[in-house]
Amino acid sequence: MTVQQKGRQTREITPPPRIIATAAIGGYKEKKSPLAADFDYIYDDIRAGCASFEKAEHEMQMKAANFALSRAGLKPEDIDILLAGDLLNQITVSGFTARQLAIPYLGIFAACSTFTQGLGLGALLLGGNAAGRALIVSGSHGCTSEKQFRFPNEYGSQKPPHSQYTATAAGAAILAASGGEIAVTALTIGKVVDLGVSDPFAFGAAMAPAVADSIAVHLQEMQRSAQDYDLIVTGDLGKVGREIAWELLQRRGINYDFDRFVDCGCLLYGQDSNLNAGASGCGCVASVSMGYLYHLLQQGKLRRILLAASGALMSPIANQQHESIPGISHAIVLERIDG
Amino acid sequence: MTVQQKGRQTREITPPPRIIATAAIGGYKEKKSPLAADFDYIYDDIRAGCASFEKAEHEMQMKAANFALSRAGLKPEDIDILLAGDLLNQITVSGFTARQLAIPYLGIFAACSTFTQGLGLGALLLGGNAAGRALIVSGSHGCTSEKQFRFPNEYGSQKPPHSQYTATAAGAAILAASGGEIAVTALTIGKVVDLGVSDPFAFGAAMAPAVADSIAVHLQEMQRSAQDYDLIVTGDLGKVGREIAWELLQRRGINYDFDRFVDCGCLLYGQDSNLNAGASGCGCVASVSMGYLYHLLQQGKLRRILLAASGALMSPIANQQHESIPGISHAIVLERIDG
């Protein structure tokens, strides 16, 4: 495999590393999602049988990792590098996953785009002969996120209509040089874009400019048109951020069918008006891309998609200190390769 | 450049990427350190002229990045990838640095070993042709850390003698294919090791087993003896953890001169008995390695060192839930290459 630099942010890998196994794990809200059938396992219990929400989040990461490993017929010791991250302070849940799997571990963080950062970085490490097989894991839990970033759910506080709900979900993927027909063929590493949104409930709006920027840079550096993709998938912009990103792309002269400009947060929670603008969280793009979208690629219903997840690089402390919200979007190309 | 896999955890890069510029920035405690003269800039003001400790931590990261860039005669747009991380929740300080520099950004986290994870990952990305130049930045602030992990300093709470003080410091390095005589020739990606220490003040002890493991794996996979290194440098085990790691290495049959088994935390704060077991924090290994140690390599007083920084992958929430502390250590080889 070789990595080719296409401009400053984009890299193409030939032959591309394959995603040889995936897993998508869901929680109590995912069960009611239109994508429920695409999850490998759904926990009925909000605590996933654990003593705390944080332990439940770890349990779900482990379930995703173990599903992917078992599907690939591999053991943890067959994996060279674990790339994992999550939303919790000091990404502790991922550290616990690394402890349990005992795989050489690189902790990563890009908020809700952590999973695409991991897939992209994994593809680069395989492409550069730094690893033979990489396991990428990420997830989130609605209750740990609300408690940490806003208020514990038990307080019953109201959220505005443009807010989103953190997915209680996890996703995993195993990358290898061969095996399986779905590949990571290229990626665009995001730059931080921050247009000054500081409302911590409006991170869809805060992230939209970064998403539009990464998509535009990607198309330019790959010398492709948006039409070269069956879908352009954003991570968790939600209903509000999706429309903003769409408008920003049009202003840059990038025209695309709005129906094919889909968002994992809208796909996962968008049909439930109680869940406001849709889903968010590391587990959202991880589970939707490694479940629903991966299945469509496997079935040949999609051939090539651009997955431009996004992250809001904020914390409650930063908000309290009147910082605006830096957005970032790491975009990867998932492609069906026959033969 | 090519990356060669030496066993599961170790990678060698030939020809090795060079560290073409570095910076070490310190704060109020660093001024009294025996290493003070090796810092490029020291802030007298505990807030570095900023309105909050968090903003001061960001200011110091930026100062480190800008020092390194200016020393290399480069602008942010000349850098392909920024690898940065810190101890603050959601590594927000690094996100702000990425926002200001506008360099394609990968957020990383390995607690106090974040800087060596960044240097190692940067070397792998250069080695695999994924980047031409990488900027690695990390830092920490004594007041943001105490407030976030323990108590605000203003409470005046007592710390036990085996505890450490987070460095108020930042370090930066720029990696490129050529230029300068100091290179990152190899690295060993750490596995999490956790022997059950749960005292949040005892992270030197908690991390020591991971450090011993990474050093032992490194020597075995590189087929080298400890004597092949002029120094084996740990990140911030402090006085207590250093002795434990030393004993664990001896039990594994690795004999080495205790005087050459040095620790950045002991070097930085170890002579001040008011600072207990020494320094810790992302800024400790970043500033000591890119200041003091880099200078010794430049002067030819050292030719090859193993820098095995370590991180305690803990959070207050994890501690409150009675989790023990997972330790990790990413080790890199810094080497003087003539010609």
Each residue's pLDDT tens digit, A51-94: 999 999 999 999 999 999 999 999 999 999 999 999 999 999 99
Q: Residue B121: which residues within 8 A CB-CB, separation 6 or more?
A: A106, A121, B83, B106, B108
- Residue A152, pLDDT > 90, answer no
Per residue of chain B (339 residues), give pLDDT as tens.
Answer: 999 999 999 999 999 999 999 999 999 999 999 999 999 999 999 999 999 999 999 999 999 999 999 999 999 999 999 999 999 999 999 999 999 999 999 999 999 999 999 999 999 999 999 999 999 999 999 999 999 998 888 898 899 999 999 999 999 999 999 999 999 999 999 999 999 999 999 999 999 999 999 999 999 999 999 999 999 999 999 999 999 999 999 999 999 999 999 999 999 998 998 999 999 999 999 999 999 999 999 999 999 999 999 999 999 999 999 999 999 999 999 999 985
Interface test with B, best of A12, A79, A106 (most B CBs within 10 A): A106
Question: Mean pLDDT, to the nearest integer, of A217-227?
Answer: 98
Q: Do A313 and B191 touch (CB under 8 A)?
A: no
Phi-psi region of B253 (alpha: psi -120 to 50; beta: other; left: phi over 0): left
pTM of the model: 0.98
**Which pLDDT does position A151 carry in this prediction?**
87
Confidence of residue A119 (pLDDT cuts 50, 70, 90): very high
Percent helix, percent strand, percent coil in chain A, to nearest 5: 40, 25, 35
ipTM reported for the complex, 2 dp: 0.98
Supply B186's token pair: 């190899």
Q: B12 to chain A: nearest residue by CA?
A: A130
| Neighbouring-strand partners of residue A280 | A166
The pLDDT of residue B338: 80
Binned at pLDDT 50, 70 and 90, residue A154 comes out as confident
pLDDT score for B152: 87
Amino acid present at A58: H
Q: Which helix (H) or strand (E) holds B71?
A: helix B53-72
**How far apart are the C-alpha atoms of B97 and B110, rounded to whole Å?**
18
Searching chain A, which residue's CA lies closest to the CA of residue B107? Answer: A109
Query: Is A103 in Cβ contact with B9 (below 8 Å)?
Result: no
Shortest Cα distance from B300 to chain A (angstroms)?
A: 30
How far is Cα A121 from Cα A21, in angstroms, rounded to an integer? 17
| Cβ pairs bridging A and B (under 8 Å) | 190
| B96/A5 Cβ within 8 A | no
CA of A130 vs chain B CAs: smallest distance (Å): 6
Cβ–Cβ gap B314/A92 under 8 Å: yes
End-to-end Cα spacing for chain A = 17
Token digits of residue A118: 């991991």
Q: Which of A47, A192, A193, A329 to mutate to test the interface with B (most CBs of B within 10 A)?
A: A192
Model pLDDT, residue A339: 59
3-state secondary structure of B169: strand
Element (H, E) at A304: strand A304-312
Q: Which tens digit of pLDDT belongs to each residue from A291-305?
A: 999 999 999 999 999
**Chain-chain contact of B128 with A3 (C-beta, under 8 angstroms):** yes
- Closest Cβ opposite residue A326 in set B54, B96, B106: B96
A37 falls in which pLDDT band (50, 70, 90)? very high
**DSSP element (H, E) containing B84:** strand B81-86
Strand A41-42 and strand A81-86: pairing? unpaired
Select from B55, B111, B128 the Cβ nearest to the Cβ of A128: B128
- Counting residues of chain A whose pLDDT is more than 90, the rounded percentage is 96
List Cβ neighbours of A188 (8 Å cut-off, separation of 6 or more): A9, A10, A11, A214, A217, A218, A221, A308, A330, A331, A332
Q: Are A133 and A74 in contact (CB under 8 A)?
A: yes
- Write out the H or E segment, with its range, that includes residue B185: strand B182-188
**pLDDT tens-digit profile of A236-268?**
999 999 999 999 999 999 999 999 999 999 999
